[in-house]
Each structure stands twice: as C-alpha cells, then as structure tokens.
Amino acid sequence: MARFLFMPESAYGPTNNCIGIGNILRQRGHTVIFAAEASWEGRLEPLGFVEDLVNLAAPAEPDPDAPPEAAGQFWIDFIRDTSPVFRTPTIEQLTGFIQPTWQALIDGAMYSHQQLTEIIARQKPDVVIEDNVNAFPALVTAGVPFVRSVSCQPLEMKGPDVPPTFSGLPSDDRSQWGDFRAEYDRTHRDMWGALNDWVQSVGAPALADLEFIHEGDLNLYLYPEVADYTDRRPLGANWHRLDSSVRATDAPFEVPEQLRSDDPSSHLVYLSLGSLGSADVDLMKRLVSVLGRTRHRFIVSKGPLADEYELPSNMWGAAQVPQTNVLPLVDLVITHGGNNTTTEAFHFGKPMIVLPLFWDQYDNAQRVHELGYGQRLDTYGFADDELLSAVDRLLADSALRTRMAGNAEVIRSRAGTARAADLIEALAR
C-alpha cells in the first residue's frame, strides 16, 4: 500500500475535491495524509485521513475563551476585508483583489516552506498532490511524483484562443482580451519575478512565464466536458479532465418539514455563495429578502456568519449544509460560481443563476451564461425583478432541464473521483 500526501488550498472547494479523491484512495487501503492549513485541525481525521497540518502565517496568541476557528478562516477574513473591491469591474480587480491575493498566497508559501519540508521528511509520501494555484516548492522537490490538481475554472490553463482568466469576458468577442492581458502583465510581472527567484533559490525549477505554479508529472483539472474549452485550448498528454469530483463524505440530508410541499408551482431552490462569498452578509441579506417574496422554497447555505441574519418562512438554512446531498433534491441553484459548486450542479443536472464575486467565478458565470446552462447576473447591480424573473424562467424551461439531465447522466458515468484515484495510484507503482 502507498502513502499519498494532499496539500489543498485552505478554502472548502479545493479541500473538498481532495477529500473526494483521497477517500477513494483510503478505501483502497492506502494511507492518505493531509498537509492542509491549520484551521482544518480535527476535521479531516474523522474522515479517516492523517492530519499533519501547516500554518500559512504566524499563529495568533491563543485565547481560551475564543470559539474554535472556522476551517479556512484565513481566507474568510481576507474575503470579508476586501469585499468592497468585488463591486468593481474585473480589470480593476486585478489591482484591488487578484494581485493582493497572489501576494498572500506567496507569503503563505514562503512561511510554510520549512514546515512542508519537515512534513515530507516525516510522512515519506510516495506521491504528492497539490490543489492550489501557487507553487509550494517543497512539494516539487520531494523526490516523488508531483500531481497538480486544478479546482479552478479551466481558463487557469491559458491559451491564445480562450479568454484571459479572471476576466469573465465572452469567448466569442475578443475586443477586450488584449487590454485585460496587458493589465495583468503590468500588475503581476514584478511579483511573479520575485516568486520565481525564490522558487529557484530553494531548489525548485523555474516557473513558466507569468505562471505561479509548476506543472506536475500528472495534471488533473475539474470541469465537465460540455462546458470546457477543448476545441479552443488543447492540452498536453499529461493533462486529464475530471468531469466532476463529488465526494461521498457529506452527511445525509432530508428536506426539512417546513419546506415540504405538494404545490407543483412551488419549487425547491438551493442558495449558496460558498464559504467565502457568504461572508458578505449584506449581500446575503438582500438575496434572502428578495427571494423571500416568492412562492418557491429555499435551502440556504448561510456561511460562517450565519448568526448575523435571519431567514423568512419559505427558507431553511444552516452555516454549512451537505451540498452534494442537497443538490439532487432541488430544481435550481443560485450560486457565486465557485468551481466546485458549478461542477457539482452540472453533475446533478441543475441550471444555475450565477452571481460572481471574485477570482474564477466570473469565468464560470460567463461560461454557464454563454452556453445556455443558466443566467449570469450583476452581483451587486441586479434589479429585484431581474432576479425573480430569472428564477421563474429557468424553473419553467423544461427543455433546459432535459438537456442538463442528459449531460449529468454522462458526467456521472465517467466517475471523476475514481478516475483521479486510478491516475494517482498508478504513479506510486
């Protein structure tokens, strides 16, 4: 039996993707270690994984009276503090959000480098899997196969014939692509150069131009073929698409009594802005207020600040919900467009209303919209009636439901987590 070490980015999306794949490997008898960020302490071991965690910044002084830190708290705090930037166009977010996010990631990589080196020496993995967007050189220099897993929208793998990542620009209109790429170069070149110098100074290979992470001996990316850019951006032989990666570790879920109804005109809808997006409490309050006026019923993932707002009678929610067991029960998903939620909605054949906030969410929103799998709305500028009409239109679109159900059947048949486990397992032989 082999030893597999996963290092996911601390947010829920990448970590959940790794949990789904790691659970398959664990079930096959392998040892699965998580070198996750320290706020995940106690959350991975009950799933059968070994925890050997890292700090991405100096830990705060312990406070015995403080409640336990939420998983991914570092990024929850970061998103909450920078949320005003999400009201700006994506090209302005390059300065206001994207560049500072990269810098925070780089700072975390530098801070944790020695810790990771020690973890690798201690755990002696046969394969290392990183699900992040930033290089952690200790993983590349571990002397074992290195797997890169991409839980971001596939524009992360760039090409001249696809829109620039983070832009949310349409695929069939190139008029703004050049300006966005030029601004990205201007705002990121120096920072990338400093990272590239440091990566080489600790023994890792140089990074490709303006790339913040190395390619792996094996590269996996999570996205359904029906929404991919395969005709415009071919990838090398060591890249493998996973149409979905749905974990089997979520708790069971039944529709709460208050949301059960025999009224065929009242549909069940899932509302989630993800663990990070829902930290914008004002936005969550507005969505709840508008949707509370409809005849439909809502399951709400309230997020880490759940206690700061209340839900009306047509809604039930909790700080966290077992998303993969909720999605099969609903007819529509209202989402921020995080990659895991987007791909899981495709996995279960659910149309989407997408309200993007940051990072690759604009790219997911645009892709869903331009392919007709849902509707992209202006997250902070939508009119009440615009949201309500989108809900009713998508729920009434039987042709779309049929189309997405057919896509979902194909996606599920491809068993993404098992395929990923097969590919990773083969590297250890």
Q: What are 229-245's pLDDT values in tens digits?
A: 988 888 888 999 998 87
Tell me the mean pLDDT in the region 329-349. 94
| pLDDT tens readout for residues 23-34 | 999 999 999 999
Q: Which two tokens stand for residue 66?
A: 């403080």
Residue 259 has a pLDDT of: 87
Q: Give Cα separations from 186 to 60, 182, 250 (angstroms).
A: 34, 6, 43
State yes or no: pLDDT of 64 exceeds 70.
no
pLDDT-derived band at 85, boundaries 50, 70, 90: confident
Indicate the fold that domain 257-413 takes in CATH.
Rossmann fold (3.40.50)
Residue with tokens 């991409």: 150
Q: How far is CA 164 from the centre of its chain?
A: 18
Residue 391 has a pLDDT of: 96
Q: Is 150 helix (H, G, I), strand (E, B) or coil?
A: strand
| pLDDT tens readout for residues 150-178 | 989 999 999 999 999 999 999 999 999 99
E strands, 377-427, where? none
| pLDDT tens readout for residues 303-317 | 777 777 789 999 998
**CA pair distance 321, 300, nearest whole angstrom:** 8
Do the first three CATH levels of 3-243+415-427 and 257-413 match, i.e. the same topology?
Answer: yes
| pLDDT tens readout for residues 117-128 | 999 999 999 999
Residue 252 has a pLDDT of: 84
Residue 66 has a pLDDT of: 56
**CA pair distance 366, 371, nearest whole angstrom:** 8
State yes or no: pLDDT of 198 exceeds 90.
yes
Q: Where are the domains of the chain?
A: 3-243+415-427, 257-413
Q: Which CATH superfamily is domain 3-243+415-427 in?
A: Glycogen Phosphorylase B; (3.40.50.2000)
Residue 12 has a pLDDT of: 78
Q: Which residues contact 167 (CB under 8 A, 6 or more apart)?
A: 90, 91, 176, 177, 180, 362, 363
